[in-house]
Amino acid sequence: MSDVKPQTNACPPNITGLKKPLGIVGGMGSLATAKFLQALAQKSGVDADQDHVPFITLSLPNISDRSHAISVGSNAPLHQILERAKWLERVGCGAIAIPCNTAHFWSSDIADALTIKFISMIEVTRDFIHRHSGSDLDNLRTIVLGTRSTIQQNLYGNSNIDWGDAAQDVDSIQHIAGGVIDDVKRGNLSRAALDMSILLSRCLSLDPDAIILGCSELSAVYRDSDKHHSIIDPVDILVDACIAWYRN
């Protein structure tokens, strides 16, 4: 099935004279995109509709599986992501955000291909952790939860810390995380939320410096009741970075 190509001559109405809107490449996955947009609205801190961050979201979900592509050395997702990002650039967006962790495997290629700012979720998360911990991420005892490729490619730095006797527990935790991700993509949200609570409890029992929700599906079912100071949600941090970009 070929990608649906948006009309490149389309232009959002009444954009002249306004600060350029945020462009969002969505669909990876759809619920994760919706979570990002909900947080963007909730965290904007404004009193009127007119003061919210303007955005254009292009959510065409028929992007090749990112984790599989990385494992076989394919750049198919990169080309599809760039097609969408460049369309958003052409219709007048001032910056691009992608609420998908694994897609940031190609973050340098994406940034180089655009003439507008690419707000990297990986970079803003690393900066956040550095500001709040006073240490680089690679120096912290961290559990990164996410797709196989996000873990193997160390998108959040050295996630292969030697856990010693707890190494088997970490492997088991990663297996549970994979199940939660799959359930969110399939819409099994009740089971995903329950398993997410169990997953985070097991992570916390190992007393890491930080637990990074390195997949936006995990962020989508991360509940207030599960919040803990050591749990880092990159989607939430990306939202803050996008709001800061617009306000500044």
**CATH number of the domain at 129-233, please?**
3.40.50.1860
Check residue 14 and give its pLDDT: 57
pLDDT tens-digit readout, 76-131: 999 999 999 999 999 999 999 999 999 999 999 999 999 999 999 999 999 999 89
Residue 101 phi, psi dihedral angles, 5° rounding: -65, -50
Residue-wise pLDDT tens digits, 148-192:
898 889 898 754 456 666 667 778 898 899 999 999 999 999 999
Pairing verdict, β 210-214 and 117-119: unpaired
Collapse the DSSP code of 119 into the 3-class scheme (helix H, G, I; strand E, B; otherwise coil) and give the result: strand
- Residues forming beta bridges with residue 25, ordered by sequence position: 58
Instruction: Give bridge partners of residue 119 from the DSSP assignment.
Output: 97
Could you tell me the pTM of the whole model?
A: 0.90
Q: What are the residue ranges spanned by the domains of the chain? A: 22-122+237-247, 129-233
CATH architecture of 22-122+237-247: 3-Layer(aba) Sandwich (3.40)
Cβ contacts of 156 within 8 Å, gap of 6 or more: 122, 125, 126, 137, 142, 144, 150, 212, 214
**Same fold for the pair 22-122+237-247 and 129-233:** yes
